[in-house]
Chains A and B, each alone.
Chain A
Amino acid sequence: MRFLLDAEQRAFADALRAMLTAADTPAVIRDWSRGDHTRGRALWSRLAEAGVFALAVPEEYGGLGPRPVELAVAFVELGRYAVPGPLVETAGAAVLLGEPAPARRFLPGLAAGADLATVAAPGGYALDGDAASLRLSPAPDGLYLCTAPPGPVRRSLDPARRLTALPPGGELLTPAVPYDRALTWIRLATAAQALGVGLALLDRTVAHVRQRTQFGVPVGSFQAVKHRLADSRTALEFARPLVLGAAVSLRPEDVAAAKLTACEAAYRTARTALHLHGAIGYTAEYDLSLWLTKARALRSAWGTPEECRDRVLAAGL
């Protein structure tokens, strides 16, 4: 038993962080929100070179996987920098397309970052259907590749998330849909991404209250302010082991618990971040908004809090 990231895993996170710090993601996100995917695709390619999209792809199909712990590590960083795009969906698609025939056909392209995949959540929208080259619809009778153009882009609360409805039908890829397994990976990636979003919100808010002065002293010296941030830190630090533990076990109930907890911690941190930034935090032009809106969107993406709780209670965690 050694429940700690090893040196290689920590180096992987550090390398992604260095790359993403240099990538000026706020500008990339704002482009993406307007439907200009150029810089986002360039960043996507660099992430693929680092191996991010190969982690859920088995080695025989050009991947590095399955490596759920490394996937969680990577998605914490993607969340920390609010990287836009169908990230968790592309990771999940690698599992969804795991039957030999579709795997041979699609997984090498996914692992290499050549293809962006999106997956229509049952009864919901597909993220970035306009940018994805593979649009997948899991249905009770099989997994469909959507060949018709997606519906018009609907605005999400998070402007970086461009939602589309997928027309039903298309090309039947396989009658066997490993949907539960794919959902487990998607939820794990979402949990990790939310944790990263929460950590970034906390860091930015701490930096803000250290330099913002009122009544002649830094706002961060007030106990009411400190205590809210201490609670955020505590909530995020107790979500982290759930996320990593779920990556180790890959039990659906552990993943649901991690998803719920990480998303709640990130959302509460978002509320605190907004409040402690005051009116600045309420503006779209200030970069904090890029994380604030994502925290809300991720909370219900791929499993609402109640769906996650049901999974936990049914399994008897």
Chain B
Amino acid sequence: MAGEGVPAAATAATASAAGGTLLACPDCDLLQRLPPLPLHHAACCARCRAPLCRHKPDSLERTLALALAAAILLLIANLVPMLGLSVAGREAFTTVLGGVIAMWREGSQVVAMLVLFAAVIAPALEIGCLLLVVLAVRRPPAPHWVATLLHGYEFVREWSMIEIMLLGVLVALIKIAELATVIPGLALFVLGSLVFLLAAMAAAFDPRVAWQRIEWAAGGAAGGAEAMR
């Protein structure tokens, strides 16, 4: 949090002597050498200012602890009621899955699947992949299937939308409030904590540390491509 952006190429001259990592900016392709980062510092691209990496102390241990906590919260959030409605003496409760089932029954199966994926499956995969990756790389070299998981984690992170769902629930709640009494359920508060936990988990995880501990795929024999250090 307290880190300042250090342009990577500003210190390139000293870094290449000290053997910094060579990297290409994902946003502008600028080739640059990244010096070993001081504690709590972050590096950004010298040309386009894209965040390149951040020094994250004890990344694997902290990610493991946060991912375990997030897994437990996600389980609770999907088991207990999220929203209740009381009107004319009738009460109705729904969970996250209840929303998906209602959408499915009312004829919007495609939307139901999308909500299921973004609100339940993607967050579960996000936490699950990261848990397995962090556990597997504890004893390097980790087998190559860990690379597939890590790739899957990066993909699924964008489609995991718990924070957006929570805002959606809030809007739905206010829309309904004029028609009936709305009762917030326990899951609402669990999901609120999960949003922060997921953000902390993603912030604690340093993919560079994990990649360094994963077995290489082809050993350089793949179509003449060779790694540069």
Question: Does chain A bind chain B?
Answer: no
